[in-house]
Amino acid sequence: MQRRHFVRNALAGAVSAAAVASVPGTAQAASDMGLTNIVFTEDDPGHFAKVAKLHVPEVHVEGGMLKVHTPHPMSEAHYIVSHTVVLEGGKFLSRTTFNWKDKPTSEHKLPEGYKGKVMVTSTCNLHDWWLKEVSV
């Protein structure tokens, strides 16, 4: 139970920091907050650069649905734990969790007519939080 609370709180903090980092003029402040090697992106894979391609979520929008896939192999020892979707302004949309037997693919229904930024995280049990930001 404590791990679940830790993950939820850490993810909320990471998404909040990412939202701050996406506002012009605040990127330096976010890096000063100590998020280097905590939240990873395609452009900033930190010490996990060699495995970035397997962890960055792929995001597609079709007919009001956000489709997320992480091209990561799944094994009992190493797998994608979840996808989380947060809308612009930090509004939580949804989260899908996986076990090691699942395919790391999820679908999330966007609010009717939604236009704006969407932050998607892919969480790996060994390689932490990977963030992808897209505009819809």
The strand pair at 117-124 and 80-87 is best described as antiparallel
For the chain, the structural domain boundaries read 2-135
pLDDT at res. 33: 53
pTM for this model (two decimals)? 0.75
pLDDT at res. 19: 45
User: Tell me: the pLDDT tens digits for 35-62?
Assistant: 777 899 999 999 999 999 999 999 999 9
In whole numbers, what is the pLDDT of the chain averaged over residues? 83
User: Tell me: the pLDDT tens digits for 99-135?
Assistant: 999 999 999 999 999 999 999 999 999 999 999 999 9
Indicate the burial class of 23 (C-beta count within 10 angstroms; 0-12, 13-18, 19 or more): exposed
More confident residue, 9 or 95: 95
The strand pair at 128-135 and 91-97 is best described as unpaired
CATH entry, 2-135, from 3.90.1150.10, 2.40.50.140, 2.40.50.100, 2.60.40.730 = 2.60.40.730
**Cβ atoms of 121 and 11 closer than 8 Å:** yes
**Helices within 1-136 (DSSP H only):** 2-21, 27-32, 52-55
User: Tell me: the pLDDT tens digits for 12-35?
Assistant: 555 544 444 444 433 333 444 567
Query: Whole-angstrom Cα distance, residue 71 to residue 105?
Result: 9
- Type of residue found at 82: S
Query: Whole-angstrom Cα distance, residue 100 to residue 106?
Result: 14
| SS3 state of residue 21 | helix
